[in-house]
Amino acid sequence: MNNKRSDNFDKFSNKKKGSAVKEEYRQEKKKAKVESRAAGEAARQRKKDKERGIIVEPVGNNKRGSFSKKETVSAPPTYLMPLRAKEYPSKATEQAEKAAKYGADKRTAGPRTIAGKKVRTPESMDRADVKRTASIGKVTANTEAPHDQMPLNKFIAHSGISGRREAAELVKAGHVTVNGDTILEPGYKVQYKDVVRLKGKVLQLQVTPVYILLNKPKDYICTASDPEGRKTVMDIIKNATTQRMFPVGRLDRNTTGVLILTNDGDLAQKLTHPSYEIKKIYEVTLDKPVTKADLEAIAAGMELEDGFIAADAVSYLSNTSKNIVGIEIHSGRNRIVRRIFEHLGYDVRHLDRVMFANLTKKNVDRGKWRFLAEKEVRLLKFMNKSFTRKSAQ
């Protein structure tokens, strides 16, 4: 009986604990990875050997890694002779082979010139050049620091026309000119001052898009420059970027609040075009209390000198002071809020835009600015339905 208990105790004490089992599993997994990596390396080596003119034959039971090598019967070219691992043909050997292949054909043998500039042919491009030429993708170029040289197909891609591979096809098809000369080499180096045309249209590098939200103060005008020397909103953001910026929409000189500045023309068009009906909310301080009848008139709509206008919403902002109201409107007509209240006999003492599209001046003091976050820009570009009015059916 004691022997039986002893045997059971020995089985229990000798049983592998959880940590030991996990460690054994990790070691087996690690060993399997090493074997798999070795098999992959062997497969890659066989592929290289085959490209270099070496026949790979299975031996034995044809297990993984059980291969032998022998040289081909026909003598391969010099640059395909069997090489040691990680060894490649020398530069001199490659040049000798090219000379033997191309002879005295100057059109394809190494560097040549187009429009007085030295150009490399695809045959003379190194591996890195070929890899860059074949890459795909539209990249937004930053032209704050002008480039010295850039491959032609890359220049086209950075102009927003297509990816680099498609750009290379356009070049080879003869659709691209540089300084008036047709260029057929995608790798042709474009200088900063060169004029590149695609089917007659001048191409320009895209600039890095910049988006700024400004809490505009009084006495600043919304223009890039003023011949009268008055202060402009550009004076406030002059240290923000070297890009050429412009305001999206305009606020009167004495109107304060949310203003967007950008160099993205497409977005500016969306935010200002009447068809998008972008929502704007203003806080209006008047010279006297606004009557409830006038609020109802503003909501119902009225006829001004430039046509009918109705607010999307209007209400008092305080139960105690009825000379401060909030108005939501999507029209972008010039001085429209001021003209609505002036039409009803009120004098606007102060006008502050508290929201434009989905943007507010929260955490931005008067006269200060900040860059828009990526999420904010994305919402503006896709015109989120939460801040756009539905068009009338």
Please report the pLDDT score of residue 219 as a whole number: 92
**Phi first, then psi: what are they for 44, rounded to 5°?**
-65, -40
CATH number of 113-202: 3.10.290.10
Domain parsing of the chain, residue ranges: 1-104, 113-202, 211-387
Please report the pLDDT score of residue 97 as a whole number: 65
Place of tokens 């539209």: 138
Write down the CATH superfamily of domain 211-387.
Pseudouridine synthase (3.30.2350.10)
Instruction: Please report, for residues 110, 243, 296, 362, the alpha-carbon distance to residue 215 in angstroms, rounded to integers and kept in the order given.
Output: 59, 20, 30, 9
Q: Residue 12 carries which side chain, given as an amino acid letter? A: F
Ordered per-residue pLDDT tens for the chain, 393 residues: 555 545 554 554 555 556 666 777 778 888 888 888 888 788 777 777 777 666 555 544 444 444 444 444 444 444 444 444 334 455 555 666 666 655 544 444 444 444 444 444 444 444 444 344 333 333 333 434 445 688 998 888 777 677 778 889 999 999 999 999 999 999 999 987 889 999 999 888 777 889 999 999 999 998 877 888 899 999 999 999 887 788 887 898 999 999 999 888 778 888 888 888 889 999 999 999 999 999 999 999 999 998 999 999 999 988 888 999 999 998 888 889 999 999 999 999 999 999 998 899 989 999 999 999 999 999 888 864 544 444 444
**Token digits for 324?**
């401060």
Q: Do domains 113-202 and 211-387 have the same CATH topology?
A: no
Please report the pLDDT score of residue 259 as a whole number: 95
> What are the tens digits of pLDDT across the range 60-106?
444 444 444 444 444 444 444 444 433 445 555 566 666 665 554 44
User: How many CB atoms within 10 Å of residue 150?
Assistant: 20
Enter the pTM of the model. Answer: 0.51
CA–CA distance, 30 with 138 (Å, rounded to integer): 40
User: Angle 127-134/164-172 helices, nearest 10 degrees?
Assistant: 100
Bridge partners of residue 315, in order along the sequence: 326
Q: Which residues are catalytic?
A: 252
Identify whether the C-beta of residue 63 lies closer than 8 Å to the C-beta of residue 74. no
CA–CA distance, 325 with 87 (Å, rounded to integer): 80
User: How many CB atoms within 10 Å of residue 254?
Assistant: 15
Burial pattern 339-351, b for ≥16 Cβ within 10 A else e, equals bbbebeebebeeb
Q: Which of 281, 266, 262 has the alpha carbon at shortest distance from 337?
A: 281
Contacts 24+ apart (CB under 8 A), 3-9: none
User: How many CB atoms within 10 Å of residue 115?
Assistant: 14
